Each structure stands twice: as structure tokens, then as C-alpha cells.
Chain A
């Protein structure tokens, strides 16, 4: 049942030109950044060759690429998630789901998986670029995997937040704006807390957890952070959907 809803969600996303436009623009920007990073690496390479244990292509090309990808995806996430529930409220199609024999949890998970499906496509297209480096050079696949895991987890957290914001309003644009605001806040939140670097506020920062994964360090604390974020916002969304039916 979850997959039926997810498949419909994904299908509707790809039936709108928005999804294709997002994919094309993201790919173009990422390709530009990728090529710029390659250029940097080519300029540095003669000097790096002389140093023992110098940073490899994974450090110089892949890590900055994935770091930039996170920012680009932060910008596009609100556009992808904004319609998922708001549009159903607005077009009153939500009554189809409410009167069908499916639970709120199934509806929310179905919607969430549909969005993840789209992000998976983004991620796959993105991964092809660093993988193409394997043709000409050695690539540290472990580092790439850690970085991709980080990016994937972060996208999944973005999606959960976007889905929740979309469940709050009938207006897709409002959902987009609030999603963007919250994501950006979580991104920069540790800047206010620079004096005490291991405070609660800095733990909330999405960026710091991502940076460790980009360095190739797999820390269960960081993975746990993203899983927690995802579970939290999915839980909120289920509660919210349930609450729309309650007397108030």
C-alpha cells in the first residue's frame, strides 16, 4: 500500500515539468562545479605528486563537489516537497486517501518514499560524475561512499522536513518558503554558538554532521542525528495528518 502511494507520488512528480526542470538545472550546475573542481585538481597535481601521502582526487574533487551539492539540494528540496500534501488538501484529493482503507502512517510513508525516489534519481545522476573519474585515475571509493551516505541521509532529512511543512498548509508556496527557512536555519545554526562548539545548538546543525562524513569518517553519532531528524519529522507529519480530522 505504501508503495502504491509512493509510485503515484513519483509518477505525478515526473508528469509535471517541474521535476524535469529541477533535474536538468541541478545537473547543469553540478557539472559546472565538477569541471571547476577538476581544473583545480589538474593545476595542483604536479605539486601533489611530489608529496608523500598527499590528498587524493577524492579529497580535492569529490568532497567539495558533494559539499556544494548539499547547498544546491537545500535550495531545490522545498520545490520538490512543497506540493506533496498541500496540493492534496487544496484539490481535496486527500479525501480519496482518507476514505480508502489505508492508515495515516501508510499515507505519510508512501508520500515520503515517493519524494525519496525522486531524490534517489538526483543522487544517482550526481554520483555518475565522480565515478567517471575512475576512467583516468584511482578513486578512494570508501571516501566517496561515506560522502554519498552523508548526502543521502541529509537529503532524506530535508525531505522529511519538507513533507512536514507541506502537511501544515494548503498553500504549496507557503510550504516551500517555510521549508527553505527551516533548512537554512538548521544549516547555519551553529554559527551563533561558535564560542561553545559542542553545545546543543551546534549538535542541531546539519552542516557539522555532514562535514565529518565528507572527510570519510563514519560516526554513528552523525548517522544517528539524521535518522533522528527523519523519524521526528515523519512522526510530526503523521500526527499532523491525524489532527486534521479531529474536532478542535
Chain B
């Protein structure tokens, strides 16, 4: 375990009666990582996060936060964690300032540094204008931000956010995403979500959990490489023969989708340039040219919709 490892999870399992919600999950989180935790509903995302933050005890396994075993020394380990649960744990009858001051004291911030911590957290989460308002009177988006402010108030090395953008409007989602990216520079972040573009926009590592098991782990850069384009979708007003298209350099197959649209698969360099030149030369009247990209969504669906374990293993390998 390197000195940069903030979270190390080994063989974590959790049973509810006979039902196994999380099954032998192991992973690591390093400083500067933003780890996206994906999975369908009921896959075990929240359970895993609750175990990481001491809200649930694991049935088996080991959690090491910042070099401290969470189960042996919970107080010291929890000091290194900021957690925003699915539903922000805010007291509606307190004002934002009162609430954050309470959280600061709960997290053992020295008395003389509470004011500064409060100011920083409010500033980062854009809460300056609502500091003296009752939390119960704030909109969902602001309550969510108060929840995030609560999670980062003691500048913990590890921040764990369970679906932080649920119920927010698109503008707020964008703000929260940029906040997460900013936090990711000096914290380690674990973020769970259903929203796949969110992961691609904010995370540098992705983990997919399905039926309690980790079925996929990769960096987003690795995913991008894996998702390399291998096909073009082309529309011509005056489409040529399939045979003509197949003779273009690099094209491995071409298939007509309807009167105007053609899907061209290729290997190696994209034949787009040649295609455009030919189109001009022979008057095919090219109207649309799109590179077909695999999205994370396809990977996700492939991994979670398939029911055979072998299929999942193969995809994760």
C-alpha cells in the first residue's frame, strides 16, 4: 500500500438476512482520484458507501482509511472521512450557519478555527447568500449543497458522496460537478451515481457494481481507449453502391441502413477523409458524417443487463 492510498477495501461483504447485498468487494482510492461508483438500483452502491463511512458494519472484510482501520479505531478513521448520504442529513430547524458550526464541532475542529472552516465551506459550496436562512426553507438544491458543505467542512482526505446530483436542476448539476472536480484536486473522492455522462465528466476512475459484485474497474482514460471508434454513420442524398464503399482503403464492411444512410466499419485509420473526397468527386452529395462511439452506457448495459457471470467476467477482463 503506497503512502498515497487513502482508502483500501479488502473483501468487503454485507448480508441482510440471507440476502447478500455486497459480496467480497475490494478496491483502492488514491489521493487525487475521483472514483465513480456505478450500478443499477439495488446493486449495493449505497450499502458499500455506508460501510465505508461507519454507518453499517460489514459482515466481513477490512476497510482502511488513510492508514487507519475503520473497524479497530473508528473515531480516528472517521475523522478522515466526509460523507454525504443519499438524503442530506440536515436539521431543518437550524440555519445554515448553526448547522455547519455544529458539524464543525462534531468533527473536532478546534474552536478557534471553526469560523475559518465555516467560511471556506460556504464559499466553496456557494452558500454565502443563504447563511442565515433556515435549512428547512431552502430549495432541494441548496439543501444538497449544505450537505456537501457538511461533508467537506473538516477538509477530510476522503470525501464520499452518494448521488450528489439527484433532484437538482441542470445548472446546479453543472456547479456541483465542477465543485467535485475542484475537490478532487486535493481530496480523494468516491461518488455514486446512475447518471453515466456525469461519471465521464467528473471522474478519472470508474467502478461498476452489479448484484453486490465489482464487475468492472478502469480509468476513464482506459475506457476512452477501449471505446475507440470503429464505425462511421454516413448519409448521402445520392448514395453509391455498397461495393464501391467497401473498396475504400481501411473499410472492412459496409451496410446500408436505409435509402440514404450507410454504416461503415473500418479498422485502423478512419476512412472519413477518403470518403469526403470521393463524395465530392462522384457527386454522392454527402450530408452527414458521424463517428459512432461506444459510450460508457453501452459498457454499463453490457455488464449489468447480462445475467451470466461468464459474460461479466469476460467483459471485465
| Residue ranges of A at the interface with B (Cβ–Cβ < 8 Å) | 1, 4-5, 8, 11-12, 15-16, 91-103, 245-248
A96, A246, A247: the one contacting B103 at CB < 8 Å is A96
**Known contacts A101-B78, A101-B107; A95/B91 CB under 8 A:** no
Is the CB–CB distance between A99 and B105 below 8 Å? no
Q: Is the CB of A92 within 8 A of B57?
A: no
CA distance A101 to B57 in the complex (A): 15
A247 B59 Cβ-Cβ under 8 A: yes
Contacting residues of chain B (26-64) with chain A, CB-CB under 8 angstroms: 50, 53-59
Question: Closest chain A residue to B147 by CB distance?
Answer: A96
B183 within 8 A of A: no
How many chain B residues touch A (Cβ–Cβ < 8 Å)? 36
Q: Which residues of B contact A99 (CB under 8 A)?
A: 53-55, 78, 81, 83, 85
The 4 closest A-B pairs by CB, nearest first: A96-B89, A99-B83, A99-B53, A100-B106
Residue of A nearest to B58 (CB): A247
Pick from A4, A12, A103: contact of B94, CB below 8 A. Answer: A12
B114 to chain A, nearest CB (A): 11
Contact between chains at A248 and B54 (CB < 8 Å): no
Q: Are A246 and B53 in contact (CB under 8 A)?
A: no
Known: A95-B83, A247-B59. A103 touches B93 (CB 8 A): no
Known: A16-B93, A92-B87, A100-B106. Contact between A247 and B15, CB under 8 A? yes
Q: How long is the Cα–Cα vector from A137 to B33 in the complex, in angstroms?
A: 76
Name the residue of chain B whose CB is nearest to the CB of A98.
B55
**Contact B55–A245 (Cβ < 8 Å):** yes
Decide: A247 near B75, CB < 8 A? Known: A4-B106, A101-B107. Answer: no
Which residues of the partner chain B approach A15 to less than 8 Å between Cβ atoms? 93-94
A1 and B93 contact, Cβ closer than 8 Å, known pairs A92-B87, A99-B55, A100-B78: no
- Asked whether A4 lies within 8 Å of B105 as measured between CB atoms, the reply is yes
Q: Residue on B with the closest CB to A102?
A: B106
Q: Decide if A12 touches B105 in the complex (CB within 8 Å).
A: no
**Residues in chain A near residue B90, CB distance under 8 A:** 93
Residues on B with beta carbons closer than 8 Å to the beta carbon of A91:
87, 89, 91-92
> How far does the Cβ of B260 sit from chain A's closest Cβ, in whole Å?
54
Contact partner of B91 (CB less than 8 A), chosen from A1, A12, A246, A247, is A12
Q: A100-B107, A101-B76 are in contact. Are A247 and B16 (CB under 8 A)?
A: yes
Residues of A within 8 A of B93 (CB): 12, 15-16
